[in-house]
Chain A
Amino acid sequence: MDEVRRLSAEVVVIGGGSTGCGVARDAAMRGFSTILVERADLAQGTSGRFHGLLHSGARYAVSDPESATECCVENRILKRIQPDAIEPTGGWFVALEGDGPDYSDKFLRAMERNGLPHEEVRLALARRLEPRLTRRAVQVISVDDAAVDGWALALGTVRSALEYGARVLRYTEVKGIGLTGGRTSTVHCRDRRSGEDFVIEAGFIINAAGPWVGRVATLLGIEDVTVEPAQGIMVAVSQRLVSRVLNRLRYPGDGDIMVPAQTVSIIGTTDAPASDPDRLVMPRDKIQQMLDCGEALVPGFRQARGLHCWVGARPLIRDDSVKPAETRKMRRGMFIFDHASRDGVEGMLSVAGGKLTTYRLMAQEVVDQMCLKLGSPRRCRTASEPVPPPPTDHFVAGQVTKPGAGAEAPEIEQPDWPISPAGRQRPTGPRHITDRLAEAESTRADDQIICECELVSRRALVSALRRHPDDSLDDLRRRLRIGMGPCQGGFCAARSAGIACQEDAWSAGQAVAALRLFLRNRWIGQQPLVYGELLKQIALDNWMLYGTLGLEQLPASQEVVL
């Protein structure tokens, strides 16, 4: 019998969302040898399926002051340590006619009481600053909300973890957890791309699988880590209609947040219990509800070009004080499950709940607890040390350099935008939407733009392909934003597949299969919005891909592409 490959680490982190990445970074910074396993791509789950809001805490000022304060503190920390992932847009709470003064009064009192920064904005000024804001606005209060890119956040965190020696295994599914004498000892994994089974000898396990945290616990026979996944639907339209985050100044409800995220505006979200985080649905009536909510804040929202919609599962932990159907009232705060005291299993902690904004704090607290258990108290430094900016050295004078090869850990995770050829300084301050246009302006004369909607250059694509030849087009999309603009991949998907083949990253069969898979995946988030301009675009895309390029006639691939 073949010996399975064995790796070992002091800490194995399960789950590559923002929390898991944060835990890996924190543990690695404290000197633990760390392996992160993620069954899909980094931040492909909840951390990539939210509205892009970096909370100031104001949203929770009334309902959950503790969360509010945490958010406020973490918001400032993240702006300092991960400026690359955050656009400090600021945010407003807006009361509309008919909303009534009741909540507004409570809100202002709670903001005062908790020391959360806020300021009333005169209506005349508000209308000048946000001309598309509804004329029904009667009160505007500004807060410190910001827009955050979940993928850039997670990739930046992982970049830091890698610098501290952590290893990151994507597309790796945990199939089992081995116990030795009542203590976890091994994590049994399967590489989903190669099919290879392997084992990680783990000194300690931190289960940070988000909505799937309960499922991981069941691998140990623990059935009562009950996550109550709450699904939220978001709709993005193709351009920024507002330049700061807009919240409804009322009791939290559906569709009360609009975020200018990157080039788009996102309205979110719905809130309904989900039985299975792998099977979330986007019924058309919920999409219609979101469009109405957008319309309430920005009249004409319905005429704006629908771009994409998605649904994410919040990893809420069941709180017996509220009924399962009332998920919005459940605590957004974090839960740490000590499986030793709770279930008699040593060597594993599960962390869940919380919010993307507080991912660093969750990581800090769970790693603190682990240190206590390991009897090795070490100080957390994640709040003071910025994550390294996306490196510039991967592209040298027209040649793409292959990554320095660590045999089993070839992943040098990093966001590939902003795009910079050698020698050009990368912006190190906060991101602004104009940065990418300025960047494209400066490189246009010596580089091609592959995704014209999102201004992704050929160099950035080739560089990403060289470093991650196993990436699917969707993985590349999360790194580069390829295919996320108005044409939704109609032009750039085939182009990218062609480049991958031309650069010998993919065979022709893989390229065709990757293209087909990408189109299939994109459709999931397109189809409820296939009206208006998107309907036109889909028709044109079909003309190109099928009428002109004959995609349907290409022979099916023999090769497997994830």
Chain B
Amino acid sequence: MSEVVVIGAGLGGLMAACELAGAGLPVRLISQGEGSLSLSNGTVDLLGYAPDLVWDPLSRINQIAPPHPYQVIGSDNVRRAVAALTSHLPDGYLVGQASQNQLVPTALGAWRPTALLPASLAPPQPKDQSRWLIVGFDRVKDFYPKLVAANLSRTKIPGGGRVTAIPVRIDLPDNPGLPGGDVSAMTVARAFDQPDFAAAVGRQLAQAAGQAEADAIGVPAVLGTAGHDAWRQVSQAAGRPVFEIGLVPPSPPGFRLNQLLLARARQLGVRLATGARVTGFQANQGRIVQLTTDAAGHGQTYEPTAVVYFPGGFESGAIAMDSTYNLAETLFDLPLAGLAPVSQLISPSYSPNQTIFQVGVQTDKAMRPLTDGGEPVYTNLYAGGGLLAGAIRWTEQSGEGIVLGSAMAAVRGLLDGIGQDLEPKLAAAHGRRTQLSSSHPGQTPNWTDGAP
């Protein structure tokens, strides 16, 4: 059987690749660079605002006002996708549930709704009497405890009161791998990979929390680059619940998740072609029959049986506008919904909700992009994620839900399309919780992950 080519190595591409490979198909994953997971905090946001605060994302997905990608995807695919993602990760790596949002603090001190999240990022349930110590580390550039604590403290939690957040700044212990001056969050996270370092910081936290009489400790999300070992070591030494607060990119929790899913993809036999940009294709009788990449020298060609296309949206340039304000999907020139003169797409007044970001591709239930006439553009092309029209993901807090749900819908559509019976194979794949190859030191997930 010839292979399925997945384009894009973000959450959607990795998920689709793992699912398809798990179902026994030969899969090649082509990506221009590494996907966007390291830019996220590893939280699984399904639906946070619609436009009011959403507490029960799964049940609200089917009620969302059109046009929206969720109308095609549906809550069933989101539910399945969340289950599938969880199955590809170590036990207990993610906590929370698709049916219920929880609030997590941000590095500006806002409260943000999310559905599932890495265990290390989950704070205790905020209560009126909670006293949280918010700790900044001297080397971490994007986390200032006074701002975080003051904003958390002055915000009334919906359905609750206010936590008391106490800011403190801690100088990290000397470490040869951790210079003074300008360092990135990843460099700090690498220092936490050393158990001695993590424990030493944990003791500093214990002391500071004791003085502040705090019952939980929030720190910037730099506790290690692999799994949750460092987080557990810090928590243990701190003697109180410690939770990470997500940072702007590059984000260690996103990196950890990326490593786990990449390792899972390798384990399932997915063939990775990283650093290759798909630059051309050939179609025949409504099917994509060939893809060409810009690999060095002669380029590479692939002849896929089907193509799963999760290249991201505006942030990746998959949908792009040129200097004369023409918008296009850049690889397959797929028809875009929501087009309008630029003056209607980009307003002179500032807003994160510019109409242009609603422009995108429309698909059928199998996630096949549609022509204006409602027919699949190519019968073996399945697309989703950031490409889909009708959502402002950062405002809705719906990014991962749309990506995961559409990846699941695409996988199911593809397997239906090639006459493969999905359920038994996927079930079997999800049941195969074999340990990842031990050949990835520093990336080996811990399979018994859970809250400390």
Contacts and interface: CB of A to CB of B under 8 A. Distances in A.
Interface of A: 284, 288, 291, 302-303, 306, 443-450, 491, 494-495, 497-499, 501-502, 504, 507-509, 511-512, 519-520, 522-524, 527, 530-532, 535-536, 538-540, 542-555
A549 to B, nearest CB: 4
A284 B342 contact: yes
A540 B111 CA distance: 20
B352 interface: yes
B24 to A, nearest CB: 35
Interface in B219-277: 246-249, 251
A502 B145 contact: yes
13 contacts: A448-B181, A491-B248, A502-B169, A507-B150, A520-B349, A531-B323, A535-B321, A539-B313, A543-B39, A546-B395, A548-B247, A552-B395, A554-B155
A229 B348 CA distance: 23
A549 B399 CA distance: 14
Interface string B153-188: 011000000000000010000000001111000000
Interface string B135-146: 010000111111
A523 B141 contact: no
A550 B147 contact: no
A524 B348 contact: yes
A498 B144 contact: yes
Contact of B147 (A448, A497, A539, A555): A497
A545 B350 CA distance: 13
B150 A501 contact: yes
The 6 closest A-B pairs by CB, nearest first: A550-B110, A498-B144, A508-B150, A547-B394, A523-B350, A539-B314
Contact of B248 (A284, A291, A548): A548
Contacts of B322: 302, 531-532
Contact of B142 (A494, A508, A532): A494
Nearest to B386: A539
B248 A554 contact: no
Interface string B351-388: 01010110000000000000000000000000000000
A545 B155 CA distance: 18
B352 A545 contact: yes
B280 to A, nearest CB: 20
B249 A544 contact: yes
A237 to B, nearest CB: 10
A123 B383 CA distance: 52
Contact of B106 (A504, A530, A549): A549
Contact of B325 (A497, A520, A531, A544): A531
B343 A552 contact: no
Nearest to B398: A547
B75 interface: no
A306 B325 CA distance: 13
A443 B146 CA distance: 26
Interface string B102-122: 000011111110000000000
B315 A536 contact: yes
Interface residues of B, number: 60
Given A491-B248, A502-B146, A291 B315 contact: no
Contacts of A547: 45, 393-394, 397, 399
Nearest to A524: B348
Contacts of A511: 147
Nearest to A502: B144
A552 B352 contact: yes
Nearest to B399: A547
B279 interface: no
B346 interface: yes
Contact of A548 (B106, B316, B352): B106
B320 A535 contact: yes
Contacts of B399: 543, 547
B293 interface: no
B41 interface: yes
Contacts, number: 158
Given A498-B142, A539-B313, A545-B352, A512 B108 contact: yes
Q: Which residue, B45, B141, B354, has most C-beta atoms of chain A within 10 A?
A: B141
B158 to A, nearest CB: 10
Given A448-B182, A552-B395, A536 B350 contact: no
Given A498-B144, A542-B357, 19 more contacts: A291-B323, A302-B323, A445-B182, A494-B142, A498-B108, A498-B147, A508-B151, A509-B154, A536-B316, A536-B320, A539-B315, A544-B249, A545-B352, A547-B45, A548-B247, A549-B106, A550-B111, A551-B108, A551-B110
Nearest to A457: B182
Q: How would you classify the secondary structure of chain A's contact residues: helix, strand, loop or mixed? A: helix
B40 interface: yes
B347 A444 contact: no
A512 B151 contact: yes
Contacts of A523: 349-350
B438 interface: no
Nearest to B105: A550
Nearest to A452: B182
Q: Which residue, A446, A540, A550, has most C-beta atoms of chain B within 10 A?
A: A550
Interface in B308-358: 313-317, 320-325, 342-343, 346-350, 352, 354, 356-357
Contacts of A443: 181
A555 to B, nearest CB: 6
A104 to B, nearest CB: 31
A511 B145 CA distance: 13
Contacts of B321: 530-532, 535
Contacts of A543: 39, 315, 393-394, 399
Contacts of A507: 150
A227 B136 CA distance: 54
B357 A539 contact: yes
Nearest to A303: B323
B147 A501 contact: yes
B279 to A, nearest CB: 17
A553 to B, nearest CB: 4
Contact of A288 (B136, B314, B324, B394): B324
A544 B40 CA distance: 9
Contact of B317 (A302, A448, A536): A536
Nearest to A301: B323
A491 B251 CA distance: 13
Contacts of B356: 530, 535
Contacts of A545: 352, 394
A508 B109 contact: yes
Nearest to B315: A539
A446 B181 contact: yes
Contacts of B111: 550, 553
Contacts of A536: 314-317, 320
B402 to A, nearest CB: 12
Contacts of A555: 151, 154-155
A504 B393 CA distance: 34
B141 A554 contact: no
A549 B107 contact: yes
Contacts of A497: 147
Q: Which residue, B145, B155, B314, has most C-beta atoms of chain A within 10 A?
A: B314
Contacts of B348: 524, 527
Contacts of A448: 141, 181-182
A451 to B, nearest CB: 11
B181 A444 contact: yes
Contacts of A549: 106-108, 110, 248
B323 A546 contact: no
A507 B399 CA distance: 32
A527 B347 contact: yes
Nearest to B106: A550
Contacts of A444: 181-182
A171 B317 CA distance: 41
Contact of A520 (B317, B342, B350): B350
A554 B109 contact: yes
A543 B142 CA distance: 15
Contacts of A498: 108, 142-144, 147
Contact of B350 (A450, A519, A540): A519
